[in-house]
Chain A
Amino acid sequence: MTTRQFGSPVLRKEDPRLVTGNGRYLDDLGHTAYEVAFVRSPHAHARIVDIDVDGALEVDGVVAVFTHEDLDGPAADRLPLLIPHPSIVAGRTGHALAKEDVNHVGEAVVMVVARDRYLAEDAAQRIVVTYEPLRPVVGIATSRDGDDLVHDDAPGNVAAHLLQEVGNVEVAMATAPHTLTLDLEIERSACMPMEGKGVLAHWDSDEQRMRIHSSTQTSTGVRAAVAAKLQLPLAQVECIAPDVGGGFGVKIMHPWPEEVLIPWAARRLDHDVKWTEDRREHFTSSAHERGQLQQVTVGFDDDGRLLALDVRFWHDNGAYLPYGVIVPIITATQLLGPYKPQNYRVEFWSLYTNTVLVTPYRGAGRPQGCFAMERTMDAIAAELGLDRTEVRSRNFIQPEEMPYDQGLLFQDGRPLKYDSGDFPASLAKLKALVGWDDFTAYREQAEAEGRKVGLGIGCYVEGTGVGPYEGGHVHVETSGRVNVATGLTTQGQGHQTILAQIVADELGVSIEDVYVTTGDTRRMPYAVGTFASRGAVMSGNAVALAARAVRAKALRIAADALEVSEADLQIEEGTISVKGAPHASIALSTVAVMSNPLRYAFDESAKAATQFAGAFDPDKPPVADEDEPGLEGKDFYSPTQATFANGMHAAIVETDPVTAEIRILRYCVIHDCGTVVNPMIVEGQVHGGVAQGVGGALYERMAYDETGQLLNASFMDFLIPYASEVPHIETDHLETPSPLNPLGIKGAGEAGTIPVSAVIASAIEDAEGFPIRSMPISPTELWDLRRQHARTNQETA
């Protein structure tokens, strides 16, 4: 009997390579390529007056120096606005190299190509750019004031404005027995993958072909963008995502300026060209996320049931808007979490600032939405003196109400309609795991020891697996090796393993025989990319469908050969046999040989398929009209809408009564991502997500000064949690399969990050007894809050 792979904690196929130093990340390739360094703007907002590159040209080993003037064709035009949306009133994007002005510190102005990076940096230092500084717009409040503008033709600094309403908030609010208003704030953080971005381009002038390696989350996207920018036929461009050292969203943005410039330079110089982003560049010239100011007004009844929810928020989109308004749309819609607001109005303004642009970072707007909703839930509980889980319970969408349509349009332009989930069951599990009902005793004991502890909670729903589609290609070689290709890319999610698990089961082969390729446009030219926790949902189902096509074909050929009905056949461990008569069998590899009628016997196994090798029907063509040679199959999975995963987290924190230091004592997660392909990998995704959430809650922020200088653009100053800062994470799972796809998967990638700021805020609030309305929070800030509240209490007294 073949062991079922699906659902098992199968060890990862990619690991032996990666742990022994045999990974191939971007900078591990192209050792003979020219290397690039950029001169980047030191100003947040300025006009470029003059660029003097003469000094650079004198440096031995410099090959070329390019400014915007050198760019030609579409490469000189503005970069694309990737996701147009009717709410965008002033969509501005930058140039690959700055043209007349710069709008954030770090914007690329001059590109230096040299024999190696050391020389390129030497030369870059000798370039003199003269700027006329303009008044920078930094911070959401400043941008909202609109006194100074980032872009002259974007009045009020407004890039986009959107209002969605379900029901009638005004009427419901006016008649609600209770109302509360909360002003909330979330600061910027960033993906910070351990490997920054990077691009290597190889131009084959004989074949007029471009091969790009990019540390990207979408190789098909980069390929199409480069073909357009360089005016090359798509057929002459290929893009490969090699091993990618983490993405978390920043690498779904494309084309980055460098993804246009490096191929452009490779063609111009007829030589391989490579750029590897350094850490400072990653801080100042890639992307950040999260920064929002929010105002929530909520109306509710005596039981804490929501009657009306009115949310306005101001979203900092940075200097440009290449990724459109996906992040604020997600905040606006996913804010609702597992709750029924009855009447909901949400309005946002997406604002320009002279800072690094904002594109999705793991969670992509959800952490902010979850923060708003969950702070509101806690505020209602506090106002009514109710248990916080009770208030949440009373507002839950019930399992029997699924599918539940929230009446809004989601980020994919389709209805925000939850497909599945059992929120009361998840909450019950969470309360049991963290010991919710026993916390009073826990707190009393801590208090007796002079310690201050608090318990926090946060619930979320995550729309995952958005379309439009992904594809799968499965090919069985005559050796029995099974090649699987899907177009989306991998940054550590273990796709080579989970997709092999799925195909091994579907096809009835050993997982050792399955080889998965992701993110290579040569193998699968139609794909979208890796984002929105969609890898397992989209490519998982696509490869399953492709494998089913291969299986059907193999059974058809085998049934002919064995002269039995297909229904009587089974495939196990790569052998097709007659059920109940295992001696009547044929290897899948043999079927692969038979599937491809040959003229030439290139090896021993091929002989069997040559034209004089056996009996055939002379009236039929070797390949039937409706058939194709080869044992392979391709299919695409394209869902009507997103699936909706969900989860609930709880944490116990301790705050030092004297120093206000914040320590997480316990962190508990209940997670429902539908059917689990590999529990070990899902668990790992949850751990990593929570760790990033902890960073965002307690440590990470982008410290911009009023001139738009990022003061902490290094790992010395931007505090990514080490092992010493991340708590042990306790997890439990609930599997409510999605009815929307054949495998029942809902996606797990981003989930862990989403509620963490809300949970930690909730726990600190519980420990301290005053509201926490701004995250992240440092000990200093908590200490200040304590003093503030002590003063207020004194004054009141």
Chain B
Amino acid sequence: MTDLDQTAPATVDVTLRVNGVEHTRTVEPRRLLSDFLRHDLRLTGTHVGCEHGVCGACTVLVDGDPMRSCLMFAVSAQEHEITTVEGLGTQDSMGPVQQAFVECHGLQCGFCTPGFVTTITAFIAENPDPTIDEAREAVSGNLCRCTGYQNICKAVVRAAEITRERADEDGAR
């Protein structure tokens, strides 16, 4: 067994690209990506609901793929492009999934929502026109204790719709 007294935890410099911006912090190598984002970068939109990768509240996009930031060390996320819920839109200019959640009442307490928003963003990038059943399947890896999921499923379909509408508008310009 390692004696903690003998090996005071070493620190490492971790550089992450988050939402298009590079950040460097000196942290212990065991620092979780979720804690790094939340407490070192103060991007507190990423939430931690179970600390063991089941609930999905901490889901962020790593090079566009949804991953659980509570199961990843910050140091392992270097060299990758991280996107958090903050990178998907602002209150004045919401992303399509965020907009759809508002329109469909897809959230109540909002704690699990960032994990759904990131997961669904990745999903509709690959499935631009999902059915409601595909939507249900797509969100079946994230826990929500408030909504019963019905409006979340609706929001997935609506988000895809908004994405297409926006693409059409952009195309028309």
Contacts and interface: CB of A to CB of B under 8 A. Distances in A.
Co-assembled chains A and B: yes
Interface of A: 11-12, 14-25, 27-28, 31, 58-60, 116, 118, 122, 126, 191-195, 243-246, 248, 278-279, 491-494, 680-681, 683-685, 687-692, 714-716, 720, 722-724, 726, 728-729, 752
B91 A279 contact: no
B112 interface: yes
Interface residues of B, number: 61
8 contacts: A15-B107, A18-B113, A22-B45, A25-B47, A194-B55, A493-B108, A715-B55, A723-B142
B30 interface: yes
Contacts of A716: 52, 54
Contacts of A688: 108, 145-148
B5 interface: yes
B136 A194 contact: no
Give 7 closest A-B pairs by Cβ, nearest first: A21-B45, A245-B111, A492-B109, A18-B110, A687-B148, A492-B108, A691-B148
A720 B143 contact: yes
B49 A722 contact: no
A135 to B, nearest CB: 32
A19 B102 contact: yes
A505 to B, nearest CB: 20
B38 A193 contact: no
Contact of A118 (B28, B54, B111): B28
B43 A21 contact: yes
B169 interface: no
Contact of A722 (B107, B141, B147, B150): B141
B14 to A, nearest CB: 15
B5 to A, nearest CB: 6
B73 interface: no
Interface of B: 4-5, 8, 28, 30-31, 38-39, 42-52, 54-55, 57, 84-86, 88-91, 94, 98, 101-103, 105, 107-114, 117, 136-137, 139-153
A494 B149 contact: no
B147 A684 contact: yes
A246 B136 contact: no
Given A279-B50, A684-B148, 20 more contacts: A11-B105, A15-B102, A15-B107, A20-B90, A25-B111, A28-B38, A191-B145, A245-B47, A491-B109, A492-B108, A494-B108, A681-B105, A688-B148, A714-B54, A722-B149, A723-B136, A723-B137, A723-B152, A728-B150, A729-B150
Given A195-B47, A714-B52, A19 B94 contact: yes
B51 A19 contact: no
Contacts of A60: 8
Contacts of B144: 194, 723
Given A21-B46, A27-B38, A687-B150, A193 B140 contact: no
Contact of B145 (A192, A494, A680): A192
B52 A17 contact: no
A29 to B, nearest CB: 9
Contacts of A248: 145
Nearest to A715: B54
B151 to A, nearest CB: 6
A715 B108 contact: no
Contacts of B113: 18-19
B110 A14 contact: yes
Given A25-B111, A494-B108, A716-B52, A692 B145 contact: yes
Contact of A16 (B44, B52, B86, B94): B94
Given A118-B28, A493-B108, A714-B52, A21 B86 contact: yes
A192 B94 CA distance: 29
A195 B109 contact: yes
Max chain A C-beta neighbours (<10 A), residue from B48, B110, B113:
B110
B9 to A, nearest CB: 8
Given A21-B43, A724-B136, A724-B137, A492 B110 contact: yes
A588 to B, nearest CB: 26
Contact of A714 (B50, B85, B102): B50
A140 to B, nearest CB: 26
Nearest to B108: A492
Max chain B C-beta neighbours (<10 A), residue from A59, A194, A278:
A194
Nearest to A116: B39
A722 B86 CA distance: 25
Contacts of B110: 14-15, 18-19, 23, 243, 245, 492
Max chain A C-beta neighbours (<10 A), residue from B31, B57, B102, B150:
B150
A244 to B, nearest CB: 7
Nearest to B138: A723
Contacts of A24: 44
Nearest to A17: B91
A193 B152 CA distance: 17
A16 to B, nearest CB: 4
B51 to A, nearest CB: 6
B48 A27 contact: yes
A116 B90 CA distance: 30
A556 to B, nearest CB: 38
B147 A691 contact: yes
Given A19-B94, A715-B54, A194 B111 contact: yes
Contacts of B54: 714-716
Contacts of A690: 148
Contacts of A17: 91
A494 B143 CA distance: 20
Contact of A20 (B47, B94, B112): B94
A493 B140 CA distance: 23
Contact of A715 (B4, B88, B143, B151): B143
A715 B8 CA distance: 33
Given A21-B43, A723-B136, A684 B149 contact: no
Nearest to B152: A723
B145 A723 contact: no
Max chain B C-beta neighbours (<10 A), residue from A21, A491, A685, A690:
A21
Given A194-B109, A724-B136, A19 B98 contact: yes
B75 to A, nearest CB: 14
A23 B111 CA distance: 8
Nearest to A728: B150
Contacts of A126: 4
B101 A19 contact: yes
Max chain A C-beta neighbours (<10 A), residue from B48, B52, B103, B146:
B146
Max chain A C-beta neighbours (<10 A), residue from B103, B107, B109:
B109
Nearest to A59: B4
B126 to A, nearest CB: 18
Contacts of A18: 107, 110, 113
A65 to B, nearest CB: 15
